Structure 1
Amino acid sequence: MNINLDDILFRVEKPARYTGGELNSVYKDLNKEHIRFAFCFPDTYEVGMAHLGSRILYHTLNKREDTYCERCFAPWPDMEGLLREKNIPLFTLETKDSLKEFNFLGFTLQYEMSYTNILNMLNMAHITIRASERGEDEPIVMAGGPCAYNPEPLYDIVDFFELGEGEEVMNDVLEVYKKYKGKNKKKEFLREISKIQGVYVPSLYDVTYNEDGTIKEFTPKYEDVPNKVSKRFIANFDGVEFPDEIIVPYTEIVHDRVVLETFRGCTNGCRFCQAGMIYRPVREKSTETLLKQADTLLKSTGYSEISLSSLSICDYSDIQNLIHTLMETHGENKVAVSLPSIRIDAFSVDLIKEIQKVRKTGLTFAPEAGSQRMRDIINKGVTEERVLEAAHSAFEAGWSTIKLYFMIGLPYETIEDVQGIAHLADKVAGEYFKVPKYIRNKGLRVTASTSIFVPKPFTPFQWAPQATMEEVGEKIKAVKLSIESSAVNYNYHESLVSYMEAVFARGDRRLCDVIIKAFEKGAKFDGWSEYFDFDLWMEAMRECNVDGDFYAYRERSYDEILPWDFIDIGVNREYLVRENEKAKKAELTKNCREGCTGCGVNVNFKEGVCFEGALSN
């Protein structure tokens, strides 16, 4: 498709979002027969290009000679307006071809509030929104990512979902597709791939409801369609495909650096954390592999910063050696190493001194809760003493700014618990003044940030009601009024967006009509405060006879059928129930590295082998 963007790009805020042509982009001969795959990220270029999973799949699919994977991101409203005005369909960056010309559109579901952007991207490419009405000549729409673990709100928009790690699943799907390409047999193709581990095809299942609105039954329509869909995971993580080249954007993106994925999974067992459950078992890459990947990526990109990525980076079994070797090898070239949010009980003074040798990167601790009672309820397993000790060590090492992340609205939480957030932030600031003046740096600033807890599927809190907007407002006010130190800055999120996130996180098929209705009313970029319209969503739910409170504020019983119960993530339901009951008593569960806690993943996914085999270098 030949389109001229010259008279458009100079009129938009950030034209580099739409040009393509970046270093390490992949270009293939369109005269050759390819399965054409468009990887679609339902948010801006800056957000999507920072997503490691997108980079991995782009690399993995383009390694196939029979497949050409291109990229597409949600255009900002200024660009959307011009594309619609000029009647230019939404296109990929590599070839500028319309999304409608592709065999597959693959959306990643990182955040519930990006769902309307999926509909908008389909609409901008003149693709039918409802899967049940989409023609044989239109692309097959698939989706994956963490939100796919409750796929039901998108059941009539997405043709199939991939549950688990996509590097292997997608290859299996494409191998099947080669038999059907060009034969107008979409239903037959979907029926066949439903047998692949990790693939869910919603059109092959029926759902019925009880009079009270809960699910009565979830059943496959055909005998050869599985009752349960098991997530897919890669046992040999050290040998998994990883890019030796990543695209280097022309414009700044959210995380503009080399990212090394050290391991997948987590052993901490935090009861609020969906990722800690769905990404089990833990599998590490060896230090040798990571050092090779760092060397290759620094050379192929020109970046001068490496970020080590995982759910809990300090749990990497060889973290001290890895960081020391990276600094020793690349420090003379002024390559910095940065770490994501650090679990405080794994914090090390030696570690922090090592990474500041080149330049200081941000330092973020995540106590998650202000009181010890709440930290025990969520199984955080860190004490106030340890938090203050870590802060003191950081100030001694030269840091003067620290960020602290907390949640409010957790199950079984009181006003006294949230006031503890302010008290702890004040005490962290106080540690600065315990460090001798000649050691500490000037400019003390402690930022305490709170997000609103949203109960998610496959966590011990999946049955819990979300805190109401009124309760959240009272708790935010309590934190504000309790902060005494002038060095503490308090950031918090609005509760309206979190309410909608909670509705979709635990929603069922009836919400699909709501998403479509909201989109028709103009909803898009709902994760961006300047575009989120709560009243619009309320109108959409009323017109669809859907009560948002039913999904957000209702406590579920253990015997209720939940919309995602047909998915097997390897962690037993009994374990989640047991953890929720322990939360009510503020009882801790040990870290998996200290011995198996009986979550079930060892039994259900034996080839993963938690933890000796998975954690060895």
Structure 2
Amino acid sequence: MLTPQQIEARLERVLLTVQKPGRYVGGEFNAVHKDWDSIQTKVAFLFPDIYDLGVSNVGLKILYDQINQRDDALAERAYLPWLDFEEIMRANEIPLYALESKHPLIDFDIIGISIPYETLYTNTLNALDLAGIPVKSAARGPEHPLIIAGGHTCTNPEPMHAFIDAYVVGEGEEVIHDIVDTVQAYSRFPVDSSQQHNGKTVKRESLLKALAQIPGVYVPSLYKVNYMDDGTIAETIPLVEEAPARVLKRIVAKLPPPPTDFIVPNIKIVHNRATVEVMRGCTRGCRFCHAGFTTRPVRERSVEEVLDAAEKAIASTGFEEVSFLSLSSSDYTGIAELVEAVSERFPDEKMSISLPSLRVESVSVDLMEGLKKHRTAGFTLAPEAATERMRKIINKFITDEQLLDTAREIYSRGWTTIKLYFMIGHPSETLEDVQAIIDLSNKVLAEGRKAIGGKAKLNLGVGTFVPKPQTSFQWVSVDNFEQINTKQNLLKKELGRGIKLAWTDPEDTIIEAFLSRGDRRLADVIYTAWKNGAKFDAWGDQRRYDIWMDAFAEHNLDPTFYTHRQRRVDEIFPWEHISTAVHKKFIFEDYRQSLEGLIRVDCREQCFACGILPIFKDLRRENPGDIWMCPEVKSRKPKTAMQPDELITIN
């Protein structure tokens, strides 16, 4: 394997021949450089897509900051090269390397991979291969780095089980330190000389068993899956006593101080701004929302902490925009106070504020007035469905009048652009429900034209619903090609002039669908698809649907088994042994309520005993206070069982 000096020399010869060489040189302002030889444990964080997307990934920013606070460890970064540079890397035998030191990834002790969405699976395999690391976990020895994965996809880790040594289920701020400590402890245990690596003595199987005992860490090689005759799961069982029957997600009770010394990228990237996470989790209970289920409970940072972090981030980076992040920014209890406080803290500066996601019912006039001072380009609202019936089914109930009133207030205060997010493909959706998206969008634009005339713009993003694991809709099927095309064609044909429409390619939907709810057999499909050229599946011009279908055929699997099949009520899912702390009984009864068109109110108003509070009772006891946004926490009277008046009875 090449040394950092040799990699630098080869880069000098080739970088000027590729697009955006700034992606590959490192040296950014605020990047952390430590003395490699004096550090015990080296961690590389890998985002399996290009620099332009990965450098702004919030999760990796947090973990990069956490590790680099340690004196005994360092963290560096790597991203997947674009096609032109990958070709050059392979031709010139340049391995995938970390930007800070130019060390090849194979030199690191741990590689932490963030996989926020399923269409990064083939990219992950490609990155490992570029690094010279065996793609399959079973082929790795003690001389190879430990491959850890995290991110939202890890609530169903099974399709990638063959490639990842261990998964972090849940939040990583604390567990990453447990992993580093465990790796350090096992590096001191003597074994036979064939296991020696860089002066360390790591026995990989023993290390994996030790990792499996860390709460929130799942080691797939320590489990076995048995199948029914119909192809569904019979059971997933641990093979060793060190592996728990169920892996419970990790959470941090109190959000740690957010990172503020953000890396300033060398080139223009997708989100070139400072980011401060104001809140984690959501209490709304939208039945389609994977993040809303898997990031419970809600924890908030104080306005003062957020404001101080924003000030430090602006000072350390020079960014002129700050984004206040959460699943729904307007649900943060101090949002209006925060926006006003930014005006007071930065009175003479041109500070732009970004609130990535707003709920119609929680956007107030005060919030709009506050945002006017900060050059916000537009408002993004996510009604998701356009009829009362569909909103009850998905548990995101607002009235048309609420949306129109909000749009009227936004346009009348001088904003020219509103973006609306809808989804097609919700359970029991009809073409009338799709037509309602058209009618409601036309009405919103009409309100804008009444307020500001022809300057009013409406951007419409219409995704296709993919049922996700660990949510109330995990039992339902996804729309097929014919259904998706019919609905999209209606939107394209009937939307009025002045409305800009963006939609999801049906092939992208189907790939996401079978990867989202796949089982271990999908690993062979993923591997074959990658070997045959599948990569950058999230990029429309690179996606190769035919390669995926050929891979399914090669392994005698039917993709519709994973996409268009309604699940049995009593079906055991591939992710059954991964717990997000939300009870399956609660999830199923919520699904039953959707069939009845019944809604649940916000969890801040009433606790429905999903499982979160009793499971994390010890954390709540150790960390009391208003950081937990749940009514039962505030009253100190958590429910421990479901109440019959709140839920449908399962016969």
Distance 1:8 1:362 in 2: 41
Q: Map 1:531-550 to 2 at 5 A.
A: 531-550=542-561
Pick closer, same or farther for the CA change 1:12–1:533 going to 2, 3 Å. same
Shift of 1:361: 2.1
Shift of 1:154: 0.7
Q: Does 1:604 align with 2:615?
A: yes
Distance 1:158 1:492 in 2: 32
Distance 1:250 1:361 in 2: 24
Shift of 1:458: 0.7
Shift of 1:612: 5.0
Q: What is the identity, as a one-letter code, of the residue corresponding to 2:473?
A: F
Shift of 1:568: 1.5
Task: Give the alignment partner of residue 252 of structure 1, picking from 247, 265, 268.
Answer: 268
Write out per-residue CA displacement over residues 201-242 of structure 1, whole angstroms, 9 at most, x where no aligned residue.
0011010111100011110112232101000000112xx142
> Who is 1:361 aligned against?
377
Uncovered stretches (5+) of structure 1, i.e. residues with no partner: none
Task: Give the alignment partner of residue 540 of structure 2, picking from 529, 534, 545.
Answer: 529
SS in 1 for 2:460: strand
SS in 2 for 1:188: helix
Q: What is the identity, as a one-letter code, of the residue corresponding to 1:576?
A: I
Q: Does 1:346 align with 2:358?
A: no
> Who is 1:477 aligned against?
489
SS in 1 for 2:201: coil
Write out per-residue CA displacement over residues 331-353 of structure 1, whole angstroms, 9 at most, x where no aligned residue.
41111111112110001122122
Distance 2:338 2:597 in 1: 36
Distance 1:441 1:334 in 2: 27
Task: Give the alignment partner of residue 201 of structure 2, picking from 183, 197, 200.
Answer: 183
Q: Is the 8 A contact 1:370 1:420 kept in 2?
A: yes
> Who is 1:386 aligned against?
402
CA RMSD in angstroms comes to: 1.4
Q: Is the 8 A contact 1:418 1:479 kept in 2?
A: yes
SS in 2 for 1:333: coil
SS in 2 for 1:364: strand
Pick closer, same or farther for the CA change 1:613–1:494 going to 2, 3 Å. closer
Q: Map 1:76-475 to 2 at 5 A.
A: 76-181=82-187, 182-237=200-255, 240-435=256-451, 440=452, 442-475=454-487
Count of residues in Structure 1 that have an aligned counterpart in Structure 2: 610
Shift of 1:11: 0.8
Distance 2:214 2:283 in 1: 28
TM score, norm. by length of structure 1: 0.97
Shift of 1:481: 2.9
Q: Does 1:70 align with 2:76?
A: yes
Q: Map 1:538-577 to 2 at 5 A.
A: 538-577=549-588
SS in 2 for 1:179: helix
Q: Does 1:502 align with 2:513?
A: yes
Q: What is the identity, as a one-letter code, of the residue corresponding to 2:275?
A: V
Shift of 1:362: 2.6
Q: Structure 1 stretch 266-275 or stretch 224-233: which is displaced more? A: 224-233
TM score, norm. by length of structure 2: 0.92
Shift of 1:599: 1.1
SS in 2 for 1:434: helix
Write out per-residue CA displacement over residues 364-400 of structure 1, whole angstroms, 9 at most, x where no aligned residue.
1111012121111100121111000010001100012
SS in 2 for 1:325: helix
Shift of 1:171: 0.3
Uncovered stretches (5+) of structure 2, i.e. residues with no partner: 188-199, 635-651
Pick closer, same or farther for the CA change 1:61–1:313 going to 2, 3 Å. same
SS in 2 for 1:475: helix
Distance 2:26 2:300 in 1: 34
Shift of 1:441: 6.5
Q: What is the identity, as a one-letter code, of the residue corresponding to 1:287?
A: V
Distance 2:406 2:581 in 1: 35
Task: Give the alignment partner of residue 511 of structure 1, picking from 522, 526, 529.
Answer: 522
Q: What is the identity, as a one-letter code, of the residue corresponding to 1:14?
A: K
SS in 2 for 1:10: helix
- Give identity over the alignment, percent: 41
Write out per-residue CA displacement over residues 541-582 of structure 1, whole angstroms, 9 at most, x where no aligned residue.
111112111011111112111011111111111111111111
Q: Is the 8 A contact 1:156 1:512 kept in 2?
A: yes
SS in 1 for 2:24: helix
Task: Give the alignment partner of residue 24 of structure 1, picking from 25, 30, 50.
Answer: 30
Q: Is the 8 A contact 1:259 1:306 kept in 2?
A: yes
Q: What is the identity, as a one-letter code, of the residue corresponding to 1:359?
A: R
Shift of 1:592: 0.6
Write out per-residue CA displacement over residues 256-291 of structure 1, whole angstroms, 9 at most, x where no aligned residue.
111110010000000000000100000000111111
Q: What is the identity, as a one-letter code, of the residue corresponding to 1:218?
A: T
Shift of 1:505: 0.4
> Who is 1:489 aligned against?
500
Q: What is the identity, as a one-letter code, of the residue corresponding to 2:118?
A: E
Distance 1:441 1:398 in 2: 11
Shift of 1:84: 0.9
Shift of 1:442: 4.7
Q: What is the identity, as a one-letter code, of the residue corresponding to 1:187?
A: E
